[in-house]
Structure 1
Amino acid sequence: MGGVSVRDVPRILSIAGTDPTGGAGIQADLKSIAANGGYGMAVVTALVAQNTHGVRSVHTPPAAFLREQLDAVSDDVVLDAVKIGMLGSAGVARTVGAWLADVRPPAVVLDPVMVASSGDRLLSRDAEDALRGLLHGVDLVTPNLPELAALLGEEPARGWEQALDQGRRLAGAYDTAVLVKGGHLAGAAAPDALVMPDGGGFTVCEFSSVRVETKNTHGTGCSLSSAVATLFARTGSWVAALGAAKAWLQEALETADLLEVGTGHGPVNHFAGLWRRGLAPLPVSSGTGVPPAGDRTAELWSRTAGVRKEIAALDFVRGLGDGTLDSAVFGRYLAQDAIYLRGYARALARASELAPTLQEQLFWAESARGALEAELELHRNWLHANAGHGGVPGPRDVPADPAEGLAPGPVTRGYLDHLLGTNRHRDDRLEYARLVGAVLPCFWVYADAGAELAAGNHASHPYREWLDTYADPAFAAATVRAVGILEGVLAGNENQRRAAEEAFAQSVQWEHDFFAAG
């Protein structure tokens, strides 16, 4: 809406109803904002008598008093983001809409509270119409699947592709980003997707996390939306905000049973990570840094910290970052990278073949396609643009396939032998675990190294176009999803975990050697 300014401690306003047990509404919003590094404020739309078993009654203050609350905050405090939750009536929705039009906060996230977990509609028809009217003035809407369907006047999606289709149509109708949440679907994975209008089309960034078996999910939607609003105000990136918010919420769900609040559907553990280790550092503002998806990937990531530190100190990486890298050296690196990508795509295709779920199969297949199409095209464009300079072949010598006629160097050959597995596991589950571990560093290490490289990019940088790829939201989203898949694999049996861990550690070392060979 207004201009976005990134702040270390953003000022976030929640506009929502109350929950005296603290699991949902403004109480959950304030906890989520604080847990994710923001300063939370709250304007109350409704006083709700509820507990972990359900709502007993609702008292709605006059709309004029709601406007007084809103004005009292915005007349005095500069707001960095606003999260809107329960509105309850058409008058409340219209009052909030009028205030948004007057104040124009930098970022607005709407969690449309429309359908109870029982499936009952919570709003009258005129209140639903007033809520839809708000969609034109928000930056992100975060409905669950029944609410997504209600906003469109349809039945809830029964599958993920149908849900994505509804998300695209809602985003197109109101020109706003839509978070499609797959929590109501069955399966071991909990998919989410950020659908963003993009010049007549859509950018769809998919995320996945392991579904947590717990009844204590009260206030999950409130908590996620307020966390995303806070993290967007800290990063300036919706993709980075959602990736970090999902990682935080995963931990809050995994430890929710420890709280023992109420005898019904209890709250998530908002401060689990903060109590355990302090506030986690954010990715750099480019939005490409990707956090672990849970304890297992966090531990594995930590084990490789030494090698990743060595990667950052390599002359090739430092020269690429500050622009002093010799173009002939970069050209030779690209040639080997083109060869590598051909083999890497085969490994991704094999992962797709062995994937246990359709969602993972589609993800790996799309990743293989991206490696062959988008990545190789970038290689060819750079080689063609620099043809005749620094030892790069002339324009007529740059083939459609930049790897054509090239021989792999010893590091390239060794890395590909590792990826493609000369000694494959006979058990497909073990082979899939090995493959996931083996291909992940090409996502995650590049995102990690690329965050710092992209942060130093500028208009006259000789490798500007190349460094831009590290700030690509789609790449960040794919990395987040890949790390989520790895978290699920590491939750398997001991043999699967060991296969994935060993392959991951070896690939991180190969990533080091590949950069060093450049």
Structure 2
Amino acid sequence: MSGIPRVLSIAGTDPTGGAGIHADLKTIGALGGYGMAVVTALVAQNTRGVREVHVPPVGFLTAQLDAVSDDVEIDAVKIGMLQDAAIIEVVRDWLARVRPPVVVLDPVMVATSGDRLLDAAAEDALRGLCTDADLVTPNLAELAVLTGRPVAATWDEALDAARRLHESTGTLVLLKGGHLDGADCPDALVGPVPLVGPGGVHEVAGARVATRNTHGTGCSLSSAMATLRAGGASWPDALVRAKQWLTGALAHADALHVGRGNGPVDHFHELRAPADRAWSAEVWDAAAAVRAGIEECAFVRGLGDGSLERDVFTWYLAQDARYLGEYARLLARASALAPTADEQAFWARSAQSALVEEQRLHSAHLDGRRPADPAPATTAYTDHLHASGRTYGELVAAVLPCFWIYADLGTRLTAARHETHPYDDWLAAYGDPAFAEATAQAVRIADAAAGAASAHERARMSEAFRRSAEHELRFFEAPMALVPARA
């Protein structure tokens, strides 16, 4: 492969530019590739729906495919809309002759309305094409058609269906959770352990973006995966980066003002970001909803005004002591990986401070008591931190929320301090200017690491920060399970 991946989209058109080959070409370019396109169908559509479809003769499709592959070395192929069985067979024959290194299939089978787009023969042909692809990216309705099962209503049902599709085709499956209900929007790779890791599932969590402008997200995600994989990323790394990019494209979609229906995503949002915008500012802003959840959760409100029940606070501190022991080990690892003597010294001091804090603040409230075992929220958080220790940048990003979120809370809650406040020592510890300065230094170090990182590692850093922030929220929510539900 060349340094710039050459990616061919085989799909239909969209005159408004939001889906099909138009979305594919934008995606490929936005993620550093060189895009090419072969048209399977000319579609008269806009943001409110499809009006008419014209399918050129299959002989012309063959001529287009051959014209490209006779002249250009193709690094990856993304396949989208294929209207009938004859077209699918032409594409299969061409793939067998050319054998591109990477083939990603987005099996367009079901309209947004829920209507089936292909007849039975075409659906059977498309199932066969799945076996020729390296990755298949169905939505939940298409996954149901491909497996002959009802549309999954839960994430576990969707995972089961994705496993069935992988087992029947031998192909890696990208399971998309966007059509499920709820605030969470996970995606997962389901396939062989050597490609995706333990259990044959590599899940990437995500939060749903509140926008109706989602036109072309399936096309864009599949072409992003093809481009990133052709550029040298592993499939799991490609999913992390693609999901980060697509989440940003959705978050900026409303600003485009394209059409009066379900508009497109902003494929080039990263190019429009200020050139001097720091990585830390991006991830801090992206975590706004999680940070708001922390501020509003009952534990933090009770901690601030002093109304938190004592047994709830001591349970939290005991879990925090468990957490800080592991956290200190991760900070020591950051010290060992740090590229400069100053950074090594900073992380070493921070590790020592975490252990001192555990002994001073926690022991004062716990009287030597500790729970027999870490709570699930504690274990989940520390497991995530240990899993994020593959590179220095990712590890720094993972530990940063424990600095930044606590310093932010300490600053916000300082006004509540008074001599008789039952948790004044906690407020003092995290509202301390010295802790604020340590946090600022940790942010500067993280920004430097992000600046030196590749695009793939920077994406992994952002994902590690996001997941740590979410674990912080769950950690604050966990103690309230001890308290009976309140109105």
Check whether TM > 0.5.
yes
Instruction: Specify the SS of the correspondent of 2:254.
Output: helix
Deviation at residue 196 of structure 1 after TM alignment: 2.4
Partners of 1:291 and 1:25 lie apart in 2 by 33
Partners of 1:93 and 1:101 lie apart in 2 by 12
Q: In structure 2, what is the equivalent of residue 186 of structure 1? A: 181
- Does the aligned pair in 2 maintain the 1:290–1:476 contact within 8 Å? no
Q: In structure 2, what is the equivalent of residue 296 of structure 1? A: 286
Change (3 A) 1:61 1:234: same
Deviation at residue 481 of structure 1 after TM alignment: 5.2
Letter in 1 for 2:227: T
Q: In structure 1, what is the equivalent of residue 37 of structure 2? A: 42
Change (3 A) 1:158 1:424: farther
Q: In structure 1, what is the equivalent of residue 320 of structure 2? A: none
Change (3 A) 1:273 1:102: same
Instruction: Specify the SS of the correspondent of 1:98.
Output: helix
Deviation at residue 280 of structure 1 after TM alignment: 11
Deviation at residue 53 of structure 1 after TM alignment: 0.7
Q: In structure 2, what is the equivalent of residue 233 of structure 1? A: 230
Deviation at residue 31 of structure 1 after TM alignment: 0.6
Deviations 1:240-278 (A, max 9, x none): 111111111111111111111110000001111112246
Deviations 1:290-337 (A, max 9, x none): 997684369xxxxxxxx99992224998xxxxxxxxxxxxxxxxxx9x
Instruction: Specify the SS of the correspondent of 1:138.
Output: coil
Partners of 1:81 and 1:8 lie apart in 2 by 13
Letter in 2 for 1:35: A
Instruction: Specify the SS of the correspondent of 1:231.
Output: helix
Of residues 484, 495, 498, the one that matches 2:466 is 484
Q: In structure 1, what is the equivalent of residue 88 of structure 2? A: 93
Q: In structure 2, what is the equivalent of residue 466 of structure 1? A: none
Partners of 1:253 and 1:81 lie apart in 2 by 25
Question: Is 71-80 or 481-490 further displaced after alignment?
Answer: 481-490
Change (3 A) 1:479 1:156: farther
Q: In the alignment, does 2:167 pair up with 1:140? A: no
Of residues 201, 209, 212, the one that matches 1:212 is 209
Q: In structure 2, what is the equivalent of residue 22 of structure 1? A: 17
Instruction: Specify the SS of the correspondent of 2:4.
Output: coil
Identical amino acids, percent of aligned pairs: 52
Letter in 2 for 1:154: R
- Does the aligned pair in 2 maintain the 1:239–1:476 contact within 8 Å? no
Q: In structure 2, what is the equivalent of residue 51 of structure 1? A: 46
Instruction: Specify the SS of the correspondent of 1:78.
Output: coil
Q: In the alignment, does 2:242 pair up with 1:245? A: yes
Q: In structure 1, what is the equivalent of residue 192 of structure 2? A: 197
Letter in 1 for 2:201: V
Q: In structure 2, what is the equivalent of residue 514 of structure 1? A: none
Partners of 1:17 and 1:122 lie apart in 2 by 13
In the superposition, the TM-score normalised over structure 2's length comes to 0.64
Partners of 2:268 and 2:462 lie apart in 1 by 22
Deviation at residue 480 of structure 1 after TM alignment: 6.5
Change (3 A) 1:237 1:58: same
- Does the aligned pair in 2 maintain the 1:172–1:197 contact within 8 Å? no
How many matched pairs? 365
Partners of 2:383 and 2:71 lie apart in 1 by 52
Partners of 1:173 and 1:212 lie apart in 2 by 33
Of residues 270, 273, 279, the one that matches 2:270 is 273
Question: How do 1:382-393 and structure 2 match up within 5 A?
Answer: none
Question: How do 1:14-413 and structure 2 match up within 5 A?
Answer: 14-198=9-193, 202-277=199-274, 295-296=285-286, 311-314=338-341, 350=375, 352-353=376-377
Question: How do 1:419-438 and structure 2 match up within 5 A?
Answer: none
Partners of 1:425 and 1:45 lie apart in 2 by 64
Partners of 2:44 and 2:276 lie apart in 1 by 32
- Does the aligned pair in 2 maintain the 1:37–1:279 contact within 8 Å? no
- Does the aligned pair in 1 maintain the 2:240–2:460 contact within 8 Å? no
Partners of 2:155 and 2:98 lie apart in 1 by 37
Unaligned runs of 5+ residues in structure 2 are 289-333, 345-351, 360-370, 389-402, 411-422, 428-438, 477-487
Instruction: Specify the SS of the correspondent of 2:185.
Output: strand
Deviation at residue 117 of structure 1 after TM alignment: 1.2
Deviations 1:79-118 (A, max 9, x none): 1111000001111111101101110001011111111111
Taking only aligned residues, the RMSD between alpha carbons, in angstroms, comes to: 4.6
In the superposition, the TM-score normalised over structure 1's length comes to 0.60
Change (3 A) 1:14 1:242: same
Instruction: Specify the SS of the correspondent of 2:186.
Output: strand
Partners of 2:280 and 2:174 lie apart in 1 by 19
Change (3 A) 1:199 1:133: same
Letter in 2 for 1:131: L
Deviations 1:112-133 (A, max 9, x none): 1111111111111110111111
Letter in 2 for 1:265: N
Deviation at residue 67 of structure 1 after TM alignment: 0.8
Unaligned runs of 5+ residues in structure 1 are 282-288, 299-306, 318-335, 354-363, 376-414, 427-437, 456-472, 497-518
Deviations 1:419-441 (A, max 9, x none): 9x999989xxxxxxxxxxx9xx9
Instruction: Specify the SS of the correspondent of 1:132.
Output: helix
- Does the aligned pair in 2 maintain the 1:293–1:487 contact within 8 Å? no
Instruction: Specify the SS of the correspondent of 1:123.
Output: coil
Change (3 A) 1:290 1:169: farther
- Does the aligned pair in 2 maintain the 1:207–1:477 contact within 8 Å? no
Letter in 2 for 1:483: F
